[in-house]
Chain A
């Protein structure tokens, strides 16, 4: 049968029409994006989260411009000064400017948050996809690994890792990547179990699509919003974890992070010395960042799951 691969074609004008149409539908795709972002109007809390996050990102990017002082520069003559015009948020016991530290602290916070989110999303999504799609022994093995990851207590695990490696933000990202994928993997897997039975997956198999194609072209895009959701929660967890670990004294002592600020405030007994500006400010910064990540995740979740929306 030689005419298997040749098609009786219509006139060329049809092909031209197709070309012009291909470009107009690309424009339509841009419209689709606009529609996808329209949820922000309906989700004021989500919008607030995005605005706060955006502000923090801007602060982190332009930190050297915004910060009036070098955050590590000591000035023992001006130690523990309350907020003044010169030091808008006061200074710590070594005379370092709190506001500048706060501004520079946004950088590691966002780095840790984003890197953790990406690694959690990447590992969790792939484990979930492969376990759910292949099932059987693959599924059993991967899910036992998830159970194992659930069995490890988070904070002690990180402390051990810090002892093994070195105290740095990368250790924290690594620890989060090693443990927090568990939840994403479980949720993604359960969705894949459902998705892989859908007729559109059967349809893909019928046309001869490979497993890889089915997993990454057909199933993955349908779990991506979910992965994004858990990724945004991972941002919040990562920032909280960094603060907790630094506060416990397992962070990098030379780094300027919000957790490290809390740690040194605690060590210098800032509370007993009435230096409220020293520990409240990093606390507020951590809270704002974490809340904004949760608000974004939550707003997005309501979009994904209409049942959560008020009738």
Chain B
């Protein structure tokens, strides 16, 4: 297909989704008196300078505890929220500089699967109406066939048993499959899955995860998989980023990161994963206290106040290049990696 001027650059061979220095700061509402006396507005730095690149066919995992900004990052990536700084490039084109038609193309090719299957389906839409909607919005042809195919892809088979159903007639797992079908029906090239199985029964988790993984492989999509559960990340993701207070503190190939975490926070996260062995020696939890108030971040490394290895140099903020393996694949924002490794 000849690429028209308005179309996105589908021949681009760089990362399908690339963000640099991405920031999303929420202004804190302060009292009117505070504003009158000229007080500064403080900000919650939900996403604070994140660099990330995701290739087609690759699943990037994003872990971190609740409130670290991982969901916000996901929503900024797919354009649900406007970033307050940095850039987002889809197929090499800056999101900000897209024309209306490119923006529409972006909308069609970037989709999201939400966490809560009980809230993410409109209770008044039937399955068919719900999956048809994206097609109507984008004025696509062969709608019935596409709906049928998406339902089959999402393993809601036979599809004719499901199209007339309303959400309240479906189980949690089925609802999540409907969400997946809705996200897939536009044949997106990039998908964000925000804790897609955390609200589901353990018994149906595996099948949903397998489905998601197969879809990413089959359709050659790029995917960002957000979770707080490292065991799921391990099953799903090629590479993983660990997020703490709005920043990516460690990134690397999933296996490598899980077997040899470098950042003290990543180590603590991994230590917290339960081991299914009653004789396993439970180590003392390394993490103490709660994450600090995201409005008043500590000086230097964000993790310093909770870090058992904190030292003098940690008062200066480490970048993700503070530690890097030779190939640059595995990186951590910590000054003390070498020291801690030798302990």
Contacts and interface: CB of A to CB of B under 8 A. Distances in A.
Are A and B bound to each other? yes
Interface stretch (A3-11, A174-182, A297-305): A3-11
A207 B133 contact: yes
Nearest to B149: A7
Given A2-B1, A21-B160, A213 B137 contact: yes
B128 interface: yes
A25 B148 contact: no
B148 A18 contact: yes
A24 to B, nearest CB: 7
B75, B137, B152 interface centre (most CB from chain A within 10 Å): B137
A203 B147 CA distance: 17
A10 B149 contact: yes
B80 A222 contact: no
A137 B285 CA distance: 49
Contacts of A200: 119-123
**Main SS class of interface, A:** helix
A282 to B, nearest CB: 42
A276 to B, nearest CB: 51
Contacts of B148: 10, 14-15, 18
A9 B112 contact: no
Contacts of B187: 4, 7
Interface in A155-177: none
Contacts of A209: 133, 137
Contacts, number: 109
A1 B9 CA distance: 9
A190 B65 CA distance: 32
A199 B141 contact: no
A9 B152 CA distance: 11
A22 interface: yes
Interface string B89-117: 00000000000000010011011101110
Contacts of B111: 206-207
B15 interface: no
Contact of B128 (A25, A198, A213, A222): A25
Contact of B122 (A19, A22, A218): A218
Interface residues of B, number: 46
A123 interface: no
A32 B166 CA distance: 10
Contacts of A202: 75, 80, 112, 114, 120
Interface string A200-241: 101111111110010001100110000000000000000000
A124 to B, nearest CB: 20
A17 B138 CA distance: 25
Contact of B142 (A9, A20, A21): A9
A18, A29, A205 interface centre (most CB from chain B within 10 Å): A18
B134 interface: yes
B296 interface: no
Contact of A207 (B124, B128, B137): B137
B144 A18 contact: yes
Contacts of A210: 137
Given A21-B160, A202-B114, A208 B107 contact: yes
Contacts of B159: 18, 21
Contacts of A17: 158, 160
B1 A1 contact: yes
- Size class of the contact patch on chain A: 35 or more
Contact of A9 (B137, B145, B158): B145
A15 B110 CA distance: 27
Given A4-B187, A18-B159, A21-B163, A207 B104 contact: no
A42 interface: no
A308 B34 CA distance: 43
B182 interface: yes
A21 B149 contact: no
Contacts of B112: 202-203, 206
B120 A25 contact: no
A221 to B, nearest CB: 4
Interface string A65-84: 00000000000000000000
A10 B119 CA distance: 32
B186 interface: yes
B137 A198 contact: no
A28 B160 contact: no
Contact of B108 (A14, A18, A21, A208): A208
Contact of A222 (B115, B124, B144, B182): B124
Contact of A203 (B1, B107, B120): B120
A199 B124 contact: no
Interface in A7-56: 7-10, 14-15, 17-22, 24-25, 28-29, 32
Contacts of B123: 200, 222
Contacts of A20: 160
B138 A203 contact: no
B186 A203 contact: no
Nearest to B128: A25
Contacts of A7: 142, 145-146, 149, 187
17 contacts: A2-B1, A5-B141, A7-B187, A9-B149, A10-B149, A22-B144, A24-B164, A25-B128, A32-B166, A199-B116, A203-B114, A204-B122, A205-B80, A206-B107, A207-B107, A208-B104, A213-B137
Q: Which 5 A-B residue pairs are closest in the complex by CB-CB distance?
A: A25-B164, A21-B160, A2-B1, A208-B107, A199-B120
Interface of B: 1, 10, 75, 78, 80, 104, 107-108, 110-112, 114-116, 119-124, 126, 128, 133-134, 137-138, 140-142, 144-149, 152, 158-160, 163-164, 166, 179, 182, 186-187
Given A7-B142, A18-B148, A206-B80, 8 more contacts: A9-B149, A22-B163, A25-B163, A200-B122, A203-B121, A204-B133, A218-B122, A222-B124
Interface of A: 1-2, 4-5, 7-10, 14-15, 17-22, 24-25, 28-29, 32, 198-200, 202-210, 213, 217-218, 221-222
